[in-house]
Amino acid sequence: MEDDAETATLEAVTAFIDDYYAEETVTGSSNASVSSDDVTTTSSDDGAASKKRKPVSLEKHLSHNRGRERQKRELQSLRQEEEVLRARVTELVKARAARLERHRVESTRTDVRSLALQTEMMTVWKEMATRQYQRRKRSEDENTRLRERVIEQREVIKSLQRILERQFAETNDPTASSRLYMPSWRAVCADGDPCRMMRIFAELTADLKNIYAQSDSWVQASSLSSLVAGRFTTSRIISLTATSVAVESMNLRLLPYDFKKVGQSYWIQGINSYCHCYDYFRENTQVDGHETVFCGQAFHDGDISESSANIRLRSHMSVQKHEEDTRTVIAHTARSETISIGEQELSDTLLREQYWNIFQPPEPSVHDACLVMSCGRVIVDLDSDLSKSPIAMMSLVKYFGTRFHDHIDRAFGLVEDWLLENMVN
């Protein structure tokens, strides 16, 4: 629009200059004719009239000269303005051409990026379908095996029922069987100091704010990684001091759903369903307007991997969900309570765990895909030098390097099932 306005102004100025030249020619001819008539009239009149008309002709001549000088100055000014406008039009034409070229390049780049994303999404759907088929096949095989076991167990149950009926008839203590329902886990999990528990979870809540503030750094680090078939996983070990190391893990995956749906389904299926299996107590609440979970968890490596380290871990954890306009962030923080490897309890070892689950679109304009960035950092602190406990340190590093990815894969297996089920329904 600005280019068209400048061009129209330039055309108007050129037309005005052309009209001026035409008017100047007509005015010159008209003045010459008038001067000739005046001379003829003056010669035919008497001498007195001639003497009176001469000063008037001089005045008109001077006024006419001043008008021409003014018109010349205006003409010169218009010519200069014309040159400026021509230069301006040339600049605008060049700028418009450059802008169109940039737009063409950006459009081409966007088309290439969108095509790459579409190809990646097709791969993601294919991988998801393959996983679902394999899980269905395993489930069918498991159902067949369980049916056979059920038939066997029916006979065992009948035998046990007969034995129990006989023992119940022989005993005189009606409360003997009730001992089987004693909540023995309370003796294992109870904490005798409520103030200590409150202090621990207050510190964990404060840690959640710092963990949430570090989300952008993980997003930036994730941008340097390339997905293969919609996946990327990595783990590394960082030596912090002579007595502490950190195990950092990153698990990226692409899902063909809106990021808000994926984040909400992970909160439901991952945090409140899958992780609930490891809780020995849990409390759901609101902190600063955000959904928050306080829990105590117990882990055993036999539940996750086939490692022979026999690691048992009890810890306190806080989880909080932050919903933003362009992403959803779930922050985790945990501290160990007890750590055991085999029959040995590592009383001089402290674990601090930090986890991030970030859900956002892979591109700002994409609304039917979600890039999930799951990141973790586990800091292992020993009271003594690391070289004095090499076996324990290697076992813990290997355990946390594999446990993170195993938990993420299992949790997102539930998320995929939940999303597919809700999409069909």
Least confident of 10-24, 89-103, 390-404: 10-24
Same-domain pairing of 102 and 236 = no
User: CA separation (Å) from 157 to 152, 163, 172, 244?
Assistant: 9, 10, 24, 53
> Does the reported pTM lie above 0.85?
no
Same-domain pairing of 100 and 220 = no
pLDDT in tens, 316-338: 999 999 999 999 999 999 999 98
Higher pLDDT among residues 56 and 18, named by residue: 18
Same-domain pairing of 202 and 107 = no
Q: Tell whether 156 is covered by a domain.
A: no
Mean of all residue pLDDT scores within the chain: 78
Same-domain pairing of 254 and 357 = yes
Q: Tell whether 116 is covered by a domain.
A: no
H or E element: which one contains 421? helix 390-424
Confidence of residue 71 (pLDDT cuts 50, 70, 90): confident
Give the tokens for residue 64. Answer: 């006419």
Confidence of residue 7 (pLDDT cuts 50, 70, 90): low
Domain count within the chain = 2
Q: Tell whether 68 is covered by a domain.
A: yes
- Residues of the chain with pLDDT > 70, as a percent, come to 73
Residue among 260, 242, 400 nearest 324 (CA):
260
Same-domain pairing of 94 and 206 = no
Largest pairwise CA distance in the chain: 168
Q: Tell whether 251 is covered by a domain.
A: yes
User: CA separation (Å) from 248 to 128, 303, 333?
Assistant: 27, 22, 14
Beta-carbon contacts of 374 under 8 Å, excluding residues fewer than 6 positions away, are 250, 251, 252, 253, 355, 356, 357, 358, 404, 408
Same-domain pairing of 230 and 328 = yes
What is residue 91's DSSP assignment?
A: H
> Using CA atoms, how far apart are residues 209 and 36, in angstroms rounded to an integer?
100
Q: Tell whether 262 is covered by a domain.
A: yes
Same-domain pairing of 205 and 78 = no
> Using CA atoms, how far apart are residues 291 and 295, in angstroms rounded to an integer?
13
Residue among 199, 245, 257 nearest 352 (CA):
245
pLDDT in tens, 258-309: 999 999 999 999 999 999 889 988 999 998 899 999 999 998 875 444 445 6
Taking the CA atoms of residue 264, residue 268, residue 270 and residue 276 in that order, the dihedral angle to the nearest 10 degrees is: 150
Q: Tell whether 160 is covered by a domain.
A: no
Residue among 77, 62, 95 nearest 20 (CA):
77
Same-domain pairing of 254 and 381 = yes
Confidence of residue 6 (pLDDT cuts 50, 70, 90): low
Confidence of residue 62 (pLDDT cuts 50, 70, 90): low
Same-domain pairing of 252 and 398 = yes
Q: What is the CATH number of the domain that holds 317?
A: 3.30.530.20
Q: Tell whether 183 is covered by a domain.
A: no
Same-domain pairing of 317 and 418 = yes
Residues of the domain holding 283:
197-424
Tell me the average pLDDT across 96-123: 77
Q: Tell whether 263 is covered by a domain.
A: yes
Question: What's the one-letter identity of residue 32?
Answer: A
Contact (CB, 8 A) for 254 and 368:
no
